[in-house]
Amino acid sequence: MLSGSTPGMRLQKDKPKIAVVGDRFAKGIAGELVHNLGSNFEVIGLVKPGSGIKKITDSANQDVSTLTKKDLVVVWGATNDIAKNEAKTALTHISKFVELRKHTNVLLVDVPTRFDLSPTSCVNREVVSYNRKLYKQMKQFVHVRLNDSKLKREYFTKHRMHMKLAGKEIMAHRIAELIRETLSKKITCTIPLLWKPESDKRITRTREGVRWWKV
């Protein structure tokens, strides 16, 4: 599923590329990012509602393989894995995906609370556990950032399972801020200075050897 750009349109090389991959919660986020980021970015959405994180990331491999340090991929998934008691497997797949994406920037969105279930339900306890492990495990990767998906109940639909448009607008705004912050960081290079035995003398080289001149 491609959103945020005209079908068949090639992404412009001079603009940072943002790829949004995920499950139902990521649906519509690419379009909202286009609105938030403006014309300075190229945004595509690769969303698979109802899919686990492995299927989501595997389907996006080809699209994100060409991204560079000037680009970024947003991953928002694992909801269905946790519901199927496969949180550990999801964490393994996320870690593998991140490990193979050191050539670009990765922004992970954690898993939202299930408002259709009790806060003390086994699924919501697993959501809390998964998110905690996700934050802990991603600390080792310098190219990864995480975004909090916590929202109030009012931003979810009546049946409490899906996010309303207003909720997605808030999430897109949060994601857009992190994208700007991540891609605007300047890489500074340390320039080594030539070593001088005495800082108040200038060195010149002659045929006979080294001559010292006081500054």
pLDDT of residue 13: 56
- On average, the pLDDT of the chain sits at 84
Number of domains in the chain: 1
Instruction: Classify residue 89: in a domain, yes or no.
Output: yes
Report the percentage of the chain scoring pLDDT > 90: 70
| Average confidence (pLDDT) over 205-210 | 49
Instruction: Classify residue 122: in a domain, yes or no.
Output: yes
Instruction: Classify residue 210: in a domain, yes or no.
Output: no
Instruction: Classify residue 120: in a domain, yes or no.
Output: yes
CATH number, position 127? 3.40.50.1110
- Grade residue 62 by pLDDT with cuts at 50, 70 and 90: confident
3-state SS, the chain, equals CCCCCCCCCCCCCCCCEEEEEECHHHCCHHHHHHHHHHHHCEEEEEECCCCCHHHHHHHHHHHHCCCCCCCEEEEECCHHHHHCCCHHHHHHHHHHHHHCCCCCEEEEECCCCCCCCCCCCHHHHHHHHHHHHHHHHHCCCCCEEEECCCCCHHHECCCCCCECHHHHHHHHHHHHHHHHHHHCCCCCCCCCCCCCCCCCEEEEECCCCEEEEEC
Task: Give how far the C-alpha of residue 12 lies from the chain's centroid of Cα atoms, to the nearest Å.
Answer: 20
pLDDT of residue 185: 76
Range of the domain at 183: 17-189
- Grade residue 49 by pLDDT with cuts at 50, 70 and 90: very high
Selected residue with higher pLDDT from 200 and 73: 73
Instruction: Classify residue 213: in a domain, yes or no.
Output: no
Instruction: Classify residue 123: in a domain, yes or no.
Output: yes
Instruction: Classify residue 1: in a domain, yes or no.
Output: no
Give the strand order in the sheet containing 17-22.
Answer: 42-47, 17-22, 72-76, 105-109, 144-147
Instruction: Classify residue 183: in a domain, yes or no.
Output: yes
